[in-house]
Structure 1
Amino acid sequence: MAASLNVFAADPLPRKEAVMETGTGGLRLTISLPDYAEGPYDLSGKPGPLVRSQPDLNRVTGGAMFSLAIGKTAMLSYQASVARRFTLQFEADRFSAELLAEELIKQAGFDGRAVQLGCPPVSLMGANIVCYRMSGERLINGKASVEKYAHVLIAISFDHDKQGYTLMATIAEQDAVRFDADPARYEKIAINALGDLWKNHKIEVR
């Protein structure tokens, strides 16, 4: 039986927001993080968020990120992304929840090593949702990272897979020995962080 992704009560502390919109007929995603988190940035680390409309490529994509130091050697990041097709000309054009999750898993360096989780209920009509966790070292082009990571993600698609969004929490630990001594602790931190992100996000169809 798959593990379940726990979500927690909204944080009453002061918060700050990042908003991503994909245009008329698209979606508006708002994420909210505690005020002490740094950001928002775009997914390259520049001041953000950033959303790019590319009609010639039949898509709108974008993302936002916040970060927070955990002790001297670890960094927690909160990440959200949006995706939209203007039209579905081919089956391969679909932004399915599984496809959105697979892209994040590959980018994180955990291709083929993610573990599926039970997901929280989603109220968006006609939506599909998948949830995954990943833990350990990144593998990029067969080369293992020095740092260790714990990732937890949610990917959602709707509007016949024309639109979707993702939420992900990641903790990166530079001290691999410390991570290996208690990897479950890092996974719990990531799950708690994603629970906060989930409870405090808002999705609207424009």
Structure 2
Amino acid sequence: MWLKKAPVNLFSLALLIAALYFTIFATNPYAIGAFVFLLLCFFKHHWKNTVSLKFVGVIGAFFLAYFLFLHHRAAIQDKQAPSEIKQVVLVADTISVNGEQLSAIGKAKGQTYQIFYRLKSEREQHYFKTVSRTPVLRGKIKVSPATGQRNFQGFNYQSYLASQGIYRIAKIEHLDSVAPLKSISPLTFFHQLRRKALVHIQTHFPNPMRHYMTGLL
């Protein structure tokens, strides 16, 4: 009920916050331009409404401080990232197999990585296509920065990953072992639950229905 009493349109406020997030994390002309445009539109409609301006100012200051804190923490983690790791825990519902290429988001010692691995056999391919529990991978894993923008108006993979709080790519050169994570958190449980649903759709539904359902999920 209190949402209806807010002095501003909450959808517009959400757009402003989202634009602020990408302005800080992506830091490209498009993100900055979108934020400035939305901010000007807001001021145009609420210039004489001091209550709305104060409300958005307080909310905006809170999210600005929060996003800057996240950005600062991520920058510190980025500088402290090792050149090699020996173990990584994959986020279950981010696992994707495209031919011989495995990709996923992984975590190791408080750091988040974009994981890549070239599958060596059909057995490995089948395992990662159907696994639903959170896998722990051990082996020789090289860590490197993501590739930035290579040409004008080209895709900036580094900024794309940074918008998700990822600053390093981890390539598994040699995989020694794979085992399910023994102790899971509530968040990990929900990732596993979503992964089970994704695997069920991929194995029980025909094309193109599986792609539609996977996209919706």
Interval of TM-score (by shorter of Structure 1 and Structure 2): under 0.3
Q: Decide which structure has greater helix share.
A: 2
- TM-score, L = length of structure 1: 0.24
* Structure possessing the higher radius of gyration over alpha carbons: 2
Q: Decide which structure has greater strand share.
A: 1
- TM-score, L = length of structure 2: 0.23
